[in-house]
Amino acid sequence: MSTELVPVTVSILGKEYKVACPREEQSALIAAATFLDERMREIRESGKVIGGERIAVMAALNLAHEYLDEKASREGFCSSVRERVDTLNARIDTAMRGLEAAAASSSGG
C-alpha cells in the first residue's frame, strides 16, 4: 500500500515553499513550518543575525541544541525509572522468598 503524497505550501519568513508529504502528516508539517517560522522571526527580530541563510542556520542550531538537551534529560529520566523498577523488583523477590519460606515452614515441609 503506497502513501499518497500531497503538495503543501508553507510560508517561512515570508517565502513560500511547496513541499510534498503524506496526507496523514500534512497537519504536522504545517505545525512544524509554523514553529520554525516563529523561531526564525524571533532570531531576525533580535537584530543579532542578518540574512535568511544565517537565520536558518541559527534556528537549526538552537533547535538541535534544545532537542539534544531534551533527549539527554529523557534518557536520564528513563535510567532513573529503570533503577527504581529494578529496586522494586528486588524488594518483591525478597518478599516472595520470605512468604514462600514461611509457607513451607508452616506446612511442615
What total number of domains does the chain contain? 1
Q: If you write DSSP's letter for every residue of 55-92 in order, what string do you get?
A: HHHHHHHHHHHHHHHHHHHHHHHHHHHHHHHHHHHHHH
Longest distance between any two alpha carbons in the chain, whole Å: 85
The pLDDT assigned to 1 comes to: 53
At residue 109, the pLDDT reads 57
Q: How far apart are CA 61 and CA 71, in angstroms?
A: 15
**CATH number where 69 lies:** 3.30.160.880
Domain that holds residue 19: 5-106
- Residue spans of the chain under pLDDT 70: 1-2, 108-109
Q: 0.85 cut: is pTM over it?
A: no
